[in-house]
Amino acid sequence: MATVLAADGHHFDKNPRDFDVVDKLVTRILAGKPDSKLAILADGSRRLTAFLPTDGAMRRSISDINDQPYGSERAVFRGIWKTAGLEGTERVLLYHLVRGKTLTYKQLRNAAPINLTTMQGGSVRVRITSGNVMLHDHNPDSPNSRVFHAVANINKGNRQIAHGIAWIISPD
């Protein structure tokens, strides 16, 4: 999965529908904490479903959290890191990962409503709302996140699959 996330290189750009911010955050966490559970993203032999906030989702989320605009992906990355640090960022990213399952967009739609246990230890509820696959977290103050159909099934056919989402989901 790590290779797929960095398919366009390990750099920031202006594409709000890719995953440069997540890629940089995971890289930074693994540099400071090599034994992090996030290392599963580099182990393609282990089944995993990842709900990954796009760069646009990261920008919307951190702008909302800190009540300030962020003009670039680099600024978004720095804002997240300054706000949550290594441990907080790792915890939130682990909440976006479901180990042991490779769930396609179609499987998510057909299984909903369903609760999925995340690698952070919490659960996320998958529901269908107005025809969209939605992720409901445990934070009543944050919006529920929609799975982007156009950015779903990344890496389909492998043990690890990812779906781009519109908002960071929160474990609390």
CA distance 157 to 142: 32
pLDDT tens sequence across 73-130: 999 999 999 999 999 999 999 999 999 999 999 999 999 999 999 999 999 999 999 9
- Paired sense of beta strands 132-136 and 145-146, if any: antiparallel
Cα end-to-end distance, the chain, whole Å: 26
Q: What is the pLDDT of residues 115-144, one digit of tens each?
A: 999 999 999 999 999 999 999 998 888 889
Domains, the chain, in order of start with CATH, read 2-165 (2.30.180.10)
Global pTM reads 0.95
